[in-house]
């Protein structure tokens, strides 16, 4: 499994700092149990961070036409009808995936289509599993129009310890479920807003895998 490009610089800096500190301490006159405890914690922290930035190679194994695929690894924390007032200004079905720090944090496009809108909104850093994080936290929004004419809104949301949302999508791009939409660093959430007449294929508290688990099936007609 490779390291995601968003983590290479951070991991290199982290390794360099920890290496210098541990070597300096090792050659000092005060080496003892404290040094070995710090060395163990340094290794654990580095490998935990390395695990966070893993980037698995995935491709959706079936024809994704008409399906909405999970944009991220994590747990389904919301399936509800909501009024989306920020961009779409209509009632939608919202499905939310919460990512813990142990999940892969790459985000994939949930549908094939054309990107028609990309925006970023500054905000708070509430815990990402809270419902109001969808409208109050820092977030990026991407709207994709499918070939059948459906509009699907995907929203990347920063969490309590997330420091940066990265969005690769640009207006006018053709996108595929097998392409990465972005990356959120250190704990976060992705909401997907769908037409009300879609068929939901997941349930609350279900674990899903980004680019692998179908969330819903869109209707054939718009």
**Strands 139-145 and 74-84, bridge-based pairing:** unpaired
Distances (CA, A) of 41 to 31, 35, 150, 162, 213: 15, 10, 49, 22, 35
To the query of whether residue 140 is one of the catalytic residues in this protein, the response is: no
C-beta separation of 46 from 17 below 8 A: no
Task: Quote the tokens at residue 59.
Answer: 């491709």
Catalytic residue, chosen from 134, 176, 188, 219, is 188
d(CA 209, CA 207): 7
List active site positions: 188
């Amino acid at each position: 499994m490779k390291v995601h490009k968003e983590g290479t610089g951070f991991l290199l800096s982290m390794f360099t700092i920890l290496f210098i500190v541990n070597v300096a301490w090792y050659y000092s006159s005060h080496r003892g149990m404290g040094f070995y405890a710090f060395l163990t914690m340094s290794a654990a922290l580095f490998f935990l961070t390395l695990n966070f930035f893993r980037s698995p190679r995935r491709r959706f194994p079936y024809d994704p036409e008409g399906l909405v695929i999970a944009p991220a690894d994590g747990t389904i924390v919301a399936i509800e009808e909501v009024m989306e007032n920020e961009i779409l200004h209509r009632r939608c079905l919202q499905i939310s995936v919460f990512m813990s720090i142990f999940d892969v944090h790459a985000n994939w496009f949930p549908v094939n289509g054309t990107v028609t809108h990309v925006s970023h909104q500054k905000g708070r850093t509430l815990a990402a599993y809270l419902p109001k994080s969808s409208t109050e936290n820092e977030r990026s929004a991407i709207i994709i129009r499918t070939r059948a004419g459906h509009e699907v809104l995907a929203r990347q949301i920063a969490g309590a310890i997330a420091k940066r949302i990265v969005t690769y999508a640009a207006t006018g791009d053709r996108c595929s479920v097998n392409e990465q939409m972005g990356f959120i660093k250190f704990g976060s959430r992705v909401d997907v807003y769908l037409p009300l007449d879609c068929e939901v294929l997941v349930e609350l508290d279900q674990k899903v895998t980004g680019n692998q688990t179908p969330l819903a099936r869109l209707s054939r007609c718009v």
